[in-house]
Amino acid sequence: MTPAPTEAMTPIDWLALLHPVLVILFVYPVVGATIRLGILVREKRLGITQQPALVPREHADHGRWVTAGVVVAVLIALFYSFLSAALDPGGAFMGGLPRLIALLLVGLGTLVALLVLLRAKRPALRASFGLLTWAGLLALGAQPEIWRLSDDPFGGSFWASHYWSGVLLTGLLLFTLAARPEITRQLRWRRLHVAANLLVMVLLAVQAITGTRDLLEIPLSWQKAAIERCDFRAHTCPEPPAAPQPAAARPAPPPA
């Protein structure tokens, strides 16, 4: 009897879905609301329409939620990669439990830096903790367990990498969050903010495409050993061994 799809998934396979589920259910809907509120704020500044006084504040709050949601989703994806490598008997995870704990502490430090950034008021503190948050994500992403198509920025695979486009997207969102008071007060910062967020929208589209592609390439944990034996260049997989055939029945002896 063929098992149901949910029966074929282990807890680590369900953990793999947490990152895309968070992005789909929370990040992208809030991004849409943030863009709409940003358009209303611009129309209000230019005198095109009359908007409630709370619209700029709501736009800023939505931007904070998007940035926080993206950072948390990235941390979940990174630690899924570490944990799945650590649990794989044939994996290349080095350092064992002490290294896994060290990586967890770096992730917690990155999360703390984000929380401080959300509450910081002084420009130096906002810049420092924005950079610390991004540096923590970069340090975790530089580990060998994190899948990257290429680390060569002069190659096409680099720009098709879900990881590197995500790194750039997160950096731009952290910059916008750290510079929010300056964006509110100064025209040149607002222009930089608009330019950065046009790139953010492009990167969000790239993330949706490359993320969907990568999900198709991630096998279930119990399928991984078989998938790794495939030749990805030739698009072939080894044939499964033939099932043993039952022995032929001997004919009955003739009657005496």
Domain locations along the chain: 72-228
Among 82, 85, 72, 93, smallest CA distance to 30 is for: 72
Q: How confident is the model at residue 211 (pLDDT cuts 50, 70, 90)?
A: very high
The span from the CA of 215 to the CA of 40, in Å, is 36
Per DSSP, the three-state class of 236 is: strand
Structure token pair of residue 170: 């997160």
Q: What is the largest CA-CA distance in the chain?
A: 112
More confident residue, 1 or 220: 220
The span from the CA of 111 to the CA of 71, in Å, is 8
* Residues present in the chain in total: 256
The span from the CA of 108 to the CA of 104, in Å, is 6
More confident residue, 6 or 75: 75
The structure's pTM equals 0.86
Q: Is residue 253's pLDDT more than 70?
A: no
Among 140, 117, 119, smallest CA distance to 130 is for: 117
Q: Is residue 36's pLDDT more than 80?
A: yes
Structure token pair of residue 150: 């290429």
213-234 per-position pLDDT tens digit: 988 888 888 888 788 788 888 8
Alpha-carbon torsion (21, 24, 27, 33), positive or negative: negative
pLDDT of residue 70: 97
The span from the CA of 60 to the CA of 58, in Å, is 5
Residue 171 CB neighbours (<10 A): 18
pLDDT of residue 247: 61
